[in-house]
Amino acid sequence: MKRLKNKIAVITGAGRGIGRATAIKFAREGAQVVIAEYDTGSGKATESEILRKGQSAEFIAVDVSDESSVNHLFDDIGNRYGRVDVLVNNAGILQDSTLKKLEPEQFDRVISVNLRGVYLCTRRAGDLMREQGSGVILNASSVVAHYGNFGQTNYVAAKAGVIGMTKVWARELGKDGIRVNAVAPGFIATDMTAGIPEKILTMMAEKVPLKRMGDPEDIANAYCFLASDEARYINGAVLNVDGGVVV
Ligand code: NAP
Ligand 1 center–CA 11 separation, angstroms = 11
Catalytic residue among 81, 119, 155, 223: 155
Residue 137 lies in a domain: yes
DSSP state of 152: B
CATH of the domain at 226: 3.40.50.720
Mean of pLDDT values over 146-175: 98
Within 6 A (CB) of ligand 1 lie 12-13, 15-19, 37-39, 42, 62-65, 90-93, 113, 117, 140, 142, 185, 187-188, 190-193
DSSP state of 230: G
pLDDT of residue 168 exceeding 90, the answer is yes
User: What pLDDT, in 10s, does the model give residues 21-79?
Assistant: 999 999 999 999 999 999 999 999 999 999 999 999 999 999 999 999 999 999 999 99
- DSSP secondary structure string, 167-190? HHHHHHHGGGTEEEEEEEE-SB-S
Which residues are CB-contacts of 184 (< 8 A; sequence separation ≥ 6)?
141, 142, 143, 145, 146, 159, 163, 238, 239, 240, 241, 242, 246
pTM to 2 decimal places: 0.98
Residue 47 lies in a domain: yes
Residue among 93, 191, 239 whose CB has most ligand 1 atoms within 8 A, to mutate? 93
Residue 227 lies in a domain: yes
Q: In whole angstroms, what is the distance from residue 138 CA to residue 151 CA? A: 26
Contact between 188 and 215 under an 8 Å Cβ cutoff? The reply is yes
Residue 92 lies in a domain: yes
Q: What is the CA radius of gyration of the chain?
A: 17
pLDDT of residue 81 exceeding 90, the answer is yes
Contact between 108 and 116 under an 8 Å Cβ cutoff? The reply is no
Q: Tell me, yes or no, if 155 is annotated catalytic.
A: yes
- The whole domain housing 237 covers 8-241
Burial class (CB in 10 A: 0-12, 13-18, 19+), 198: exposed
**Which atom belonging to ligand 1 lies closest to the Cα atom of 39?**
47
The pLDDT value given to residue 28: 98
Ligand 1 center–CA 194 separation, angstroms = 12
User: What pLDDT, in 10s, does the model give residues 197-210?
Assistant: 999 999 999 999 99
In total, how many domains does the chain have?
A: 1
Residue 1 lies in a domain: no
Q: In whole angstroms, what is the distance from residue 225 CA to residue 235 CA? A: 13
Residue 126 lies in a domain: yes
